[in-house]
Structure formats: C-alpha cells, structure tokens
Amino acid sequence: MKESPDAIKKVSIIISKGSLDGIYPGLIMANGARMEGIEATLFFTFFGLDAILKKRVDKLTVATVGNPGMHMPTLLGALPGMSAFATAMMKKQMEKLDIPPAGEFLEMIKDAGAGIYACRATVDMFGLSKDDFIPQVDGIINVGEFYERSAGAQIIFT
C-alpha cells in the first residue's frame, strides 16, 4: 500500500444491526482494512451483538420486512419462509464469492489483528455477560473506552 500524507491509518466500525445484511458491510470493511495494513476496531452494539453471541452467530438471517433494499413490498417480506428463503439465497451467493460465514469471518478478522468489542450499555440492558460471547471478543467496553480506542480513527457506522 503506497501511503499518501492523508492515508487512513485507523478505522473504528460500529455494527448495530444483527441481520446478515446488517453485519457483513462492517466485517468486509474491517477485513479490507486489515489487509491494507490499517488498524481496525469493531464495536458491536444493540442488535449487532447477535453477530458475536455464541448462540446467534451461526443463525443470522436476512431482514426481509421493512428492508427497502429487498425491493419488495413489506407484506411480501412478512410471508412465512421469506426470510429463510432470502437468507439461503444470500448465503449461496456469498459462498460463490468465497465470503466466509459470520463466525469464520470474525475469526479471520481477529487473527488479522482487529479488535472486537461489545457495548457495555447494551450488554447490561440485555442481561448478558462475557461468557455469552464468542472467544474472539476482546472485551466489553463503554462508549468512553470506545472513543479512547478510536482516537485518530475514521469512525464508520454501519
């Protein structure tokens, strides 16, 4: 990577949605950052925590209701089986592109040196503990700690 005077050296990515289509943009950006030698931190909050919860990481689905990107009426998205169908289709496409499942992707990102954190306020609100999270989670931090870790970083909210 050729460095210019204003090259990005550090990113902090906030993931607040717990659907496949809500977490993958942040995961792809964090992975890309690490591949370019850019320091990366992932901060999971609210429903984004689903991506790092042991019991949910392998059960993420595509949001079909109220998702304008689905290009279908909300009523159609609410039909039984529509989310499962959309999820299967998205996973099939991701597999074709060699994009790993969420749990494996988080392992890769962690192994590449990214920091992975859960939001303290959300963890407390949902009654969770460190034991509820996948082993790649570095810790549960509050917003102040997130800002400290993000000093000098580009903050990206997905």
- Residue 39 pairs in a beta bridge with 10
From the number of C-beta atoms within 10 Å of its C-beta (0-12, 13-18, 19+), residue 33 rates as buried
Distance CA 72, CA 89 (A): 15
pLDDT tens profile 79-98: 677 778 787 888 888 889 99
pTM, rounded to two decimals: 0.87
Look at 108 and 81; give whichever has higher pLDDT.
108
| Whole-number pLDDT of residue 91 | 86
Q: What does the domain layout of the chain look like in residue ranges?
A: 10-60+103-157
Q: What is the pLDDT of residue 113?
A: 98
How high is the mean pLDDT of the chain?
Answer: 90
Pick the CATH number of 10-60+103-157 from 3.40.50.300, 2.30.42.10, 3.40.1260.10, 3.50.50.60: 3.40.1260.10
Each residue's pLDDT tens digit, 112-128 = 999 999 999 999 999 99
Note the pLDDT tens digit of each residue in 46-84: 999 999 999 999 999 887 766 666 666 665 656 677 778
